[in-house]
Amino acid sequence: MAALSAGTPALAHGGKGHQDRELGTRLARAVTVDGVLKHARAFQRIADRNEGNRASGLPGYDASADYVANRLERAGYEVTRQTFTFPFWRDVAPPTLAQTAPGSVDYETGSFTYSGSGDVAGAVVPVDLTLPPTPEPSSTSGCEAADFTPAPAAPTVALVQRGSCDFAVKVANAVAAGYDAVIIFNEGQPGRTDLTTGTLGAPVTVPVVGLSFADGSALAQTAGAQVRVTTQTETDLERETENIIADLPARHQGHGKSQGKGKKPRLAEDEVVVVGAHLDSVTEGPGINDNGSGSGTVLEIAEELSDQGFRDLRRPVRFAFWGAEEAGLLGSEHYVASLSPDELASIHANLNFDMLGSPNYVRFVYDGDGSEGGEAGPEGSAQIEEVFTDYFDRRGLASEPTDFDGRSDYGPFIAAGIPAGGLFSGAEGVKTPEQAAVYGGTAGEAYDSCYHAACDDLSNLSNRALSELGDAAAFATGTLLTSRDGFSRDDRPRGHHGTKKHHDRTWRSAEHGPRR
């Protein structure tokens, strides 16, 4: 990757920018696309040997965790394997959805995470649909119990529309009203037309499958429609998986390392920077972009930092590779929930890197200051955002904010009041003509058309995206570890930022599931 140009990072003031920038500059030079791809190839080999995936709770994830732990141990880190149990779920057989009357139509479908198993044939009941869709998302289909008429005694399938509330709420209301299966179709606005699936947050007892807007609206407008829905799933509420946590070698804990004469500067032990990425894939594919790209980049940064002898550190670093993100951010949530109040208070910041190699990419930066209309992150998040945006600005590269909505592993950290930030190159969203004019690529197509699919393999990476976002990730890591200036603080204790708390799972089982 190319070296960055000169400039002053957001956390440095009063002429100290050059010193604070030095480690970030070295790391950005040292971290290379070839280095990241080396790890991506290893993840692909692991998936190839393990049913084509690296999902938590399955052998492919265990092998990925072994690979990462071994690399970190060889680099000299103190590695902890933090095990936890979680509600595992997967499709055992592909779900099916077919209209059986009037006429016969086979639909492209997918099951929602934590769908139950079943074979249901019955009448379709549309539920409070907004057809045609409004210009902006507005559907509240299925969000209220009153939306559902009581189901008859015969098997019946609820047809609901995406929008406004969690998928789990829609399904719970349908089940309470006596429906035997649920179909959720996309809402219909630009970017909300394709086949939709997501997570329900916890197991349910009925089949739950998705449809595109076109198929769902056609089915809704077919008088007397009958369908057959089949799902075959596996659920294990006590499946075990793990996070891989790497701390500085013992000989460096409590000390920095200077190149000149004199005593080594002491590290600020109460200002740990946690640099993380989720290691698991979905069960449908190898997850090389989602999130082999992020975890491979973090691993490459960790190895290059070790090769440089941990020089110039002012803060400790902790590299984290999260399990069960695809099940609802469960690994990072478990980690944050396991910390004592003092341990929480000792975390200076969290950097999160999730999907850095999307083929039709945009340089998205988490919107820490809430300038785009969303909720701002905890105190310090705006400064982390500025580190990334200033870096891109100095290199003449455009970037833009992405919602700081808790849909990736920074979520439990900001819920606990910890400053956070990071990068994202795009998932299922559709690139606009304006974005295509700035970043290249193809307008009207997804940032990653293989998102959560079997084709998310080695061919599904942009080397240019890995280079540009990987450089920025390395630079920001170095900057936060060496900046002489900390974040401003208010008087709120950690764990009480906004309305989100790390023990409240409602925010992570959001309408479209955990994502970037």
Q: In this structure, what token pair is assigned to residue 394? A: 């100095």
Q: Is 373 exposed, middle or buried (0-12, 13-18, 19+ CB in 10 A)?
A: exposed
Closest CA to 229 of 61, 366, 374, 111: 111
Give CA–CA dist 317/320, Å, rounded. 10
As a whole number of angstroms, the distance between CA 220 and CA 184 comes to 11
The full DSSP string for 253-279 is TT----SSSSPPPPP-TT-EEEEEEE-
Strand 105-107 vs strand 118-126: parallel, antiparallel, or unpaired? Answer: unpaired
Beta strands at 226-247 and 317-322: parallel, antiparallel or unpaired: antiparallel
**75: phi then psi, degrees, rounded to nearest 5:** -80, 0
What the block records as the tokens of 351 is 């950097």
Asked if the peptide bond before residue 152 counts as cis, ω within 30 degrees of 0, the response is no
Going by their DSSP bridges, the two strands 226-247 and 78-101 should be labelled as: antiparallel
**Nearest C-alpha neighbor of 115 from the set 208, 35, 183:** 208
Which secondary structure element, helix H or strand E, spans residue 421, and what is its range? strand 420-424
User: H or E segment at 348?
Assistant: strand 347-353
In eight-state DSSP terms, residue 103 is S
Between CA 63 and CA 360, with CA 60 as vertex, the angle to 5 degrees is: 110
In terms of Cβ atoms closer than 10 Å to its own Cβ (0-12, 13-18, 19+), residue 80 is middle
Amino acid 512 reads H
3-state helix, strand, coil in the chain (%, to 5): 30, 20, 50
- What the block records as the tokens of 310 is 């941990």
Residue 303 bears catalytic tag: no
Measured distance CA(430)–CA(419) in Å, rounded: 29
Element (H, E) at 495: none
Candidates 187, 300, 325, 428; catalytic one: 325
Question: Letter for the amino acid at 402?
Answer: T
**Residues taking part in catalysis:** 325
